[in-house]
Amino acid sequence: MARIGVFVCHCGSNIAGTVNIAQVMAAAQTMPLVTFVADNKYSCSEIGQTAIREAILKQKLERVVIAACSPQMHEATFRKTVAQAGLNPYLLEIANIREHCSWVHSNDKAAATKKAIELVKMAVAKVARHEALFTKEIGLTKKALVIGGGISGIQAALDMANAGYPVILVEREPTIGGRMAQLDKTFPTLDCSSCILTPKMVEVAQHPNITLLTYAEVKSVRGFVGNFEVEILQRARKVDASKCTSCGICWQKCPEKIPAEFNLGLGPRAAIYTPFPQAVPNIPSIDLAHCRYIKYQEFVARGEEGKKPPQCRICERLCPPQAIDWEQSDQVLVEKVGAIVVATGYQTFDHTRYGEFGAGRYPDVITGIQLERLLSASGPTEGEVVRPSDGTHPKTVVFVSCVGSRDERMGRAYCSNVCCMYMAKQAILLKEHDPEVQSYIFYIDIRAGGKGYEEFIRRAQEEARAIYLRGRISHIYQDGKKLIVRGEDSLLGRPVEIAADLVVLATGIEPSAGAKELAQSLNISYDAHGFMVEAHPKLRPVESRTEGIFLAGTAIAPNDIPGCVAQGSAAAVKALAVLSRPSLVSDPMVAIVDPLRCTGCFACQRACAFNAIDSQVTRDGKTIAVVNESLCKGCGLCVSACRGVAMNLKGFSQQQLLAEVNALWR
Amino acid sequence: MALDYQPKIVGFLCNWCSYAGADMAGTSRLTYPPNIRIIRVPCSGRVDATLVTKCFQQGADAVLVAGCHPGECHYSEGNYHARRRFTVLRELLSFLGIEKDRLRLEWVSAAEGKKFSQLVSEFSAEIAHLGPRKDNGKAAGGSL
Amino acid sequence: MAGRTYAYYPGCALHGTAREYDVSARLVCQTLNVKLQEIKDWSCCGASSAASLSPLLGIALPAHNLKLAAAMELPITTPCAMCSYRLKTAAHELKDEATARQVSEVLGSAVGPEVTVEPLLQVLSEDLSFPIRKPLTGLKVACYYGCLLVRPKSVLQFDDEENPQTMDRLITALGAEAIDWGLKTECCGAGLPLARPDLVHRLAYRIISLAQRLGADCIATACPMCQSNLDIHQKEIEAEHGEKLGLPIFYFTQLLGLALGFTPRELYLHKHLTNPLPLLRAKGLG
């Protein structure tokens, strides 16, 4: 029978301060099959690990129980430790006497000690039934997928491509650049946003290692780390990219005009369009919902009576290289990749949910990102800040912070992180555009915790003479040409009323539409708001809990540009750490079928979400289930679905779990 | 019922959400009664009838199964399997002469340390209120 | 709406200072075949005073009236915004068992079964196909809902808190033009005319002057407090601001009555302090 060693960790006073280590050790001595018991001040320290290794060798231990912190913390560490002493790493069990015991029962030392003893007893019973498990080497595709072509995704793609690995960058919009492309200047340096972004966009387009797919969406992801299979829907632009010279005649001559999404409705675009002049790729797309010829075709296809709409086709007639291709259709591409970086970014909160701000009824109540477009030299007004209602220059501008942030009423308890800073930036820029502008900024708190950020706020106050008022806005209404903004100055404890020419709502950040659905198909978790959840909020901030899938940028949480760029690079490094390995190691804790017991009912196959159950015909002609180990994720659903007790899960076998139960209260 | 009666509770916690949630309770030093024994399972859907009935056969007063919130299962739908099985298991318990409320299924995410500690405190108080098992701790069905 | 019968709760104001609201409400209901049966032995709803002294009294008073209506097996309607607010609040609070028990003790018998409460504005806007005899063409109306008709939304469940539309739609259906403006649910200060007349004048001035600046010929209300508050202070406000106001303040039922063909006298329009007759004559409605 096995010789089991038990190591009880003090964890300084974290465990020993509550749990009586000597009593636990004494009790462990009496447990079946235990031949050696020792304690450690800090088991995870080099000294602690060496002591464990030496004991294994000296005491000829065959199984090890370490009573210490959560296995989530150090199971991997200790598996390596026992492996270094020649033991199979899976002949180890952790008894969690810190997170599940000493830290939660510090008010009752006797009960905590009693519980710790029972937890050790359960672990001893379980480890006695452990089997040596062996990993397998599996191949991997040395190529990465980046989802989202904003600044985070661009940075991740460039870093991986520059390290020599092929990257596919998928962007839903017709161009990369994301939200950053919409910004005029960036805080706190007032760098021109497109001046620093455009070179990176061009680098992406020209990089030999990057395949850029714009106007495309990831439809489904299958497989596992190193071996993902991705379906990408490439939407038809109806423009042949190999012929188009980006001359721009098509969108200049297209007669159909609709509000431009990129300018948030502040200006028109044509039905054939590039979102902005520096778009990458600079190939126009035909917006099928608005193109006249497409409408004509649909009308004809419906076979309706009446006057036919015009055929138009002006772009086709005028295009010098004849790049318009009406036959082009959507395509589904299938790609194999080894690692995925998710950088799906954000959209801004829908301010029309605020009835007290006019619910979108007042044209001169705009959002922060709309003001960016007005400030931008490449925007709809070529950088002239004018009121959308009458084109006049606003002199009194009121900023309202936390619109869709820090507001439980709207289901948004979180801070959007960037609004305080962009309001300060916009106040400074407004003053630069027109020295007569007076800005008022209503805030709850000024959040300026970044390098040079607090100084920037002071600059808005002192140089741009922005008046900061602490309080919320209760009502905005139109009085002739003025907007009456009513709120509270909570420092003075008085109501305030300002007759403004323009009101800017600092709308908060929320995850992009469709991010949740994408997370579901990637099998990664997201929080109540739809932000992606990190594997560990502090120690693994750019990893998802699914191996091989990494996160960057505002898909995780509201963040500013430097933060997003840092995360893009960090995610790239994490992905490179996967791609640069010669091969991957499979997790051996997978399901296994007992062929003698399997009746071939395939209840397991119906329970499996990963298509990991195949069928095979035995020599005596019986059809039974067999586990495809490379697809099995080790959830054990098949085990509980199996009626014939034929299915089992290595590492969490029925015998192991029952042994834990059996050890209870004995 | 004796005042110092402490119910014995077994908790099957899924590795990805609820076990990490219980860890979070520890990291946040949120206390709860020391009468729960946690067994780590890969997924709440891994918990089957044998494991649950075995607990009661061993004299457990209650069993808690906790997994990821709906839609957040690491294995995409294991918790839905757990939920379906749970309704059947409760019926099975009453067939065995054990009150249904002694088996509970809850969703606890990795971030919900507070929820976990409150859950254990409440559940423990509820079971204490229910008192010792009416079947004297001997579930029908013989050996399992 | 048409053909239905309601337990009619006029409330104290409509038997006193707001007779014209009561009279016009009954006239239009009769014409539109909305049957009103006044609740026998109805009592005061407590208005703002009872609840501020004792929350329990603030519920018990309307609960008494809810019980009377329940005995009639009819839904309640009331023209007064304050009354509908109190009745609806009480109905909402009584869903809580402990409150219901306490109120039963006060009433001396069990509270009645649940009764629906609909402000008259809601009842009359269910079907906007009115038999109009004199369309209010050319009349620009600022619809003013006040504080109590729509807030709090979770209890009243009637219309949007910031930009309600019910009265606007009704007024538009009469051929008049409802102006879009931002003070529809602004407080007019009706609770404070004795304690803080300065404040009341400021609040009323804001509402009246904005409506006037935006081109409204008059204001339509659904609340006796709002109507009287906006109506009676105009002379004093004019003196304070040295500005001519003279904006007629109607009950929506009076405008509806005019469109249905009733005369200003039948609708008690002569009771208003800010004389509406010159405006009506100018628009060919007098």
pLDDT, one tens digit per residue, over C64-116 is 999 999 999 999 999 999 999 999 999 999 999 999 999 999 988 888 788 99
Same domain, A171 and A222: yes
A256-284 core/surface letters (b: 16 or more CB in 10 A; e: else) = beeebebbbebbebbbbbbbbebbbbbbb
How many domains does the structure of chain A reveal?
5
Q: What is the pLDDT of residue A1?
A: 64
pLDDT over threshold 60, residue C183: yes
Name chain A contacts of B41, Cβ cutoff 8 Å.
636, 652, 657
Same domain, A339 and A320: no
Q: What is the pLDDT of residue B141?
A: 43
In the stretch 69-98 of chain B, residues with CB closer than 8 A to chain A read 71-72, 74-78, 81, 85
The percent of residues above 70 in pLDDT, for chain C, comes to 99
Q: Amino acid letter at C42?
A: W
The verdict on whether omega for the bond into residue A281 sits within 30 degrees of 0, i.e. cis, is yes
B17 vs C1, more confident: B17
Same domain, C230 and C262: yes
Contacts of C262 (CB under 8 A, 6+ apart): C24, C27, C28
The verdict on whether omega for the bond into residue C152 sits within 30 degrees of 0, i.e. cis, is yes
In the stretch 134-173 of chain A, residues with CB closer than 8 A to chain B read none
For C183, the closest chain A residue by CA position comes to A477
Tokens 């016009």 -> residue: C24
Interface of C with A (CB under 8 A): 160-163, 180-183, 186, 210, 213-214
- The one-digit pLDDT tens for each residue of chain B (144 residues) are 444 678 999 999 999 999 999 999 999 999 999 999 999 999 999 999 999 999 999 889 999 999 999 877 888 789 999 999 999 999 999 998 999 999 999 999 888 899 999 999 999 999 999 888 887 655 544 444
Tokens 């199964």 -> residue: B65
Q: Which tens digit of pLDDT belongs to each residue from A528-558?
A: 899 998 888 888 999 998 889 999 999 999 9
Select from C80, C99, C121 the last residue of a domain.
C121
Same domain, C40 and C164: no
A468-498 core/surface letters (b: 16 or more CB in 10 A; e: else) = bbbbbbebbbbbeeebbbbbbeeeeeeebeb
Q: What distance in Å separates residue B49's CA from the closest CA in chain A?
A: 8
Same domain, C145 and C220: yes
Same domain, C277 and C170: yes
Same domain, C81 and C152: no
Contacts of A128 (CB under 8 A, 6+ apart): A1, A2, A4, A32, A33, A63, A659
Helix axes A46-58, A71-84, angle to 10 degrees: 50
Name chain C contacts of A475, Cβ cutoff 8 Å.
162, 182, 186
Name chain A contacts of C161, Cβ cutoff 8 Å.
355
Range of the domain at C240: 132-282
Residue C126 lies in a domain: no
Q: Which tens digit of pLDDT belongs to each residue from C37-57?
A: 999 999 999 988 898 899 999
Q: What is the pLDDT of residue B136?
A: 61
Q: What is the pLDDT of residue A535?
A: 84
As beta bridge partners, residue A407 has A412
- Strand A272-273 to strand A365-367: parallel, antiparallel, or no bridges (unpaired)? unpaired
For A98, the closest chain B residue by CA position comes to B26
Q: Which tens digit of pLDDT belongs to each residue from A93-126?
A: 999 999 999 999 999 999 999 999 999 999 999 9
Q: What is the pLDDT of residue C1?
A: 62
Same domain, C241 and C167: yes
What is the rounded distance in angstroms from the CA atom of residue B56 to the CA atom of residue B138?
8
pTM: 0.81
Give which of A475, A482, A483, A486 to mutate to test C binding, by max C Cβ within 10 Å. A475
Q: What distance in Å separates residue B31's CA from the closest CA in chain A?
A: 4
Q: Output the six-digit token pair for C97.
A: 């068992």
Pairwise CB contact (< 8 Å): A361 & C163? yes
Q: Which tens digit of pLDDT belongs to each residue from A47-68?
A: 999 999 999 999 999 999 999 9
Q: What is the pLDDT of residue A596?
A: 92
Handedness of CA C229, C231, C235, C239 (dihedral sign): positive
Q: What distance in Å separates residue B16's CA from the closest CA in chain A?
A: 8
What is the rounded distance in angstroms from the CA atom of residue A1 to the CA atom of residue C275?
106
Tokens 């502040």 -> residue: A266
Select from C66, C94, C121 the last residue of a domain.
C121
Same domain, C143 and C109: no
Coil/strand/helix, residue B63:
strand
Q: What is the pLDDT of residue A226?
A: 93
Same domain, A628 and A600: yes
For A654, the closest chain B residue by CA position comes to B51
Same domain, A384 and A402: yes
Range of the domain at A153: 144-235+335-345+537-579
Pairwise CB contact (< 8 Å): B45 & A640? yes
CATH code of residue C243: 3.40.50.11810
In the stretch 101-120 of chain A, residues with CB closer than 8 A to chain B read 101, 103-108, 111-112, 114-115, 118-119
Same domain, A566 and A627: no
Of C270, C274, C266, C273, nearest to C23 (Cα)? C266
What is the rounded distance in angstroms from the CA atom of residue A253 to the CA atom of residue A608?
56
Same domain, A13 and A47: yes
Same domain, A323 and A436: no
Same domain, C117 and C154: no
Residues in chain C: 286
Q: What is the pLDDT of residue B142?
A: 43
> Chain C contact for A481, CB < 8 A?
no
Q: Which tens digit of pLDDT belongs to each residue from A593-625?
A: 999 999 999 999 999 988 889 999 999 899 999
- Strand A285-286 to strand A272-273: parallel, antiparallel, or no bridges (unpaired)? antiparallel
3-state secondary structure string across A569-605: HHHHHHHHHHHCCCCEECCCCCEEECCCCCCCCCHHH
Q: What is the pLDDT of residue B139?
A: 52
Domains in chain B, start-ordered, CATH in brackets? 9-130 (3.40.50)
Cβ atoms of A628 and A612 closer than 8 Å? yes
Of B98, B95, B92, nearest to B62 (Cα)? B98
How many domains does the structure of chain C reveal?
2
The percent of residues above 90 in pLDDT, for chain C, comes to 86
Same domain, A94 and A107: yes
Q: What is the pLDDT of residue B104?
A: 96
CATH code of residue A60: 3.40.50
The mean pLDDT value of chain A amounts to 95
User: ∠B2-B5-B7 over CA atoms, to 5°?
Assistant: 150
The verdict on whether omega for the bond into residue A380 sits within 30 degrees of 0, i.e. cis, is no
Chains with 3 or more CB pairs under 8 A to chain A: B, C
Name chain C contacts of A478, Cβ cutoff 8 Å.
181-182
